[in-house]
Chains A and B, each alone.
Chain A
Amino acid sequence: MSILRTLLASLLVLTAGVFTLSAVTDRFRAFTSETALRISVREHPRAMPPVLLQTAAGKTVGFAGLRGRWLLVDFIYTRCMTYCSVQGSEFARLQQQLAGPIANGKVLLVSISFDPAHDGPAQLAAYQQRSGMHGAGWIAARPTDTAGLDALMRVFGVTAISDGLGGYLHNSAINVVDPRGRLVAIMNWNSPQAALRYVLRRHDNQVASR
């Protein structure tokens, strides 16, 4: 008897365990929080919070004012000597490759600092210069208040932790916001080509369907 009961109990435990594992890994697809975030965004696009940004030019813009274009958004802090500097040059390169859609006002690159206390307009402008920015189509900005920063970090799923050397480590990515102002995809920061293809494909489809 107790063998059968044990078998039954084990089967129940196994079933419950597999169900729980499936639930916490989004059906065995996401074992890390970064993957989970990307799946969540892809399946349930997230609306941009009504956050105001101050740009390197000193102007104030909101996400509502940026609607109607594809946005490629990344998060940076200008003191960063590692990833962000590479991210910056990748954005400068994207700016070149997307020159057409940018000129048509269909695409905009946005770098947002999560270190607004330090990154004022001057620091942001210097960051863009250093990265090789040329012309229009790429804005660097900081949230105007901490509530805005928190809201952005939450929606974009950005985690920045101290690296113990006065800097931060953060999950770097290229975030794609569609013309309706929804975060629809998160791509690897080091494969801007994927983000480029993603935007161009959808942009061209839009143009073709008109």
Chain B
Amino acid sequence: MFFADTTIRLPHARAWLGPVLWLALALPPVRHALEATMTLQMLAQIPLLALAGYRPRPWLPRRVADTLAAWNRGGVSGLLLISLTAMIWMLPRTMDAALEVPWVEMVKFAAVPLLIGLPLAISWPYAGFVVRGVFLAEVIATAFRLGWLYLVSPQRLCSNYLLGDQQQLGECLLAIGSALFLWITWKLLWGRFNSIAEPRQPRRAPSGAAHHRSRG
């Protein structure tokens, strides 16, 4: 998802996946199942809600997209919005409140797709090497920070979840942080990194394509 070169050319057909996924997630049995553990809420429900907002990017009218782009150079404003929104929904207090207070749950179901998923789809293609690097470094750091906190905290941070569950989430976050780190290292050494949204060269362009490659 993060390095999706296909973002801009995403077929409209796949955009429908967004609302369908959102409705599926909103079904009470699915909602309860995904909120049964802290790990599922944070690592399945919230990312899937974000995906539900990420998909419908092609439906954004051209004019709106252009106006937004003028205020979102390099995807900076969008990625900042994503970071702050994610920070709010990762707080133990909001995870608890989403379970206990219906309107908080509704806000979550609106905010995560619209303020995390959609801005990601809009901003990521504009983000250059440095912005992507900073953003991903922050994602990795957050995974490690939170993972460590959840793993070592002797107290339950959410009243609605068990301590073992909290520790499991901690382990998962450390694993995700490590995996992202390894993936980025691999990407820096061998991969394509600098795929900015500009009219792109065809894949097998005889020359010029090499400029887009950044080899560490």
List residues of chain A with CB under 8 Å of any chain B CB. 1-3, 5-6, 8-10, 13-14, 16-18, 20-21, 24-25, 30-36, 159, 161, 163-164, 169, 171
CB distance from A37 to the nearest CB of B (A): 9
Contact between A20 and B76, CB atoms less than 8 A apart:
no
Beyond A2-B70, A32-B157, whether A10 also contacts B91 by CB under 8 A is no
Contact between B71 and A6, CB atoms less than 8 A apart:
yes
CB distance from B196 to the nearest CB of A (A): 15
> Which segment, of B133-141, B158-166, B171-179, faces chain A?
B158-166
B window 38-58: CB within 8 A of A: none
Contact between A5 and B91, CB atoms less than 8 A apart:
no
Beyond A9-B77, A25-B93, A31-B93, whether A161 also contacts B71 by CB under 8 A is no
Q: Across the interface, name the chain B residue whose C-beta is closest to A20.
A: B88
What are 8 A-B contacts with C-beta separation under 8 Å? Answer: A9-B71, A9-B77, A31-B91, A31-B92, A32-B96, A33-B159, A35-B93, A171-B156
A53 to B8, CA, bound (A): 64
Contact between B76 and A17, CB atoms less than 8 A apart:
no
Contact between B80 and A163, CB atoms less than 8 A apart:
no
| B24 part of interface (Cβ distance < 8 Å) | no
Contact between A161 and B93, CB atoms less than 8 A apart:
no
A161 to B93, CA, bound (A): 16
Contact between B70 and A5, CB atoms less than 8 A apart:
yes
Contact between A24 and B162, CB atoms less than 8 A apart:
no
Beyond A32-B157, A36-B93, A169-B162, whether A6 also contacts B87 by CB under 8 A is no
**Which residues of B are found within 8 Å of A13, using beta-carbon distances?**
77, 80-81, 84
**Chain A to chain B: the 10 pairs with minimum beta-carbon distance, closest first:** A17-B84, A9-B77, A33-B96, A6-B73, A159-B159, A9-B71, A32-B92, A2-B73, A10-B77, A5-B71
Beyond A10-B80, A32-B93, A161-B160, whether A24 also contacts B88 by CB under 8 A is yes
A10 to B159, CA, bound (A): 34
**Which residues of B are found within 8 Å of A159, using beta-carbon distances?**
100, 159-160
A159 to B87, CA, bound (A): 24
CB distance from A83 to the nearest CB of B (A): 11
Contact between A14 and B162, CB atoms less than 8 A apart:
no
Task: Convert B71-109 into 0s and 1s, putting 1 for each residue whose CB lies closer than 8 angstroms to a CB of A.
Answer: 111101100110011011001111011001000000000
Beyond A5-B71, A20-B84, A163-B162, whether A25 also contacts B91 by CB under 8 A is yes
**Which residues of A are found within 8 Å of B72, using beta-carbon distances?**
6, 9
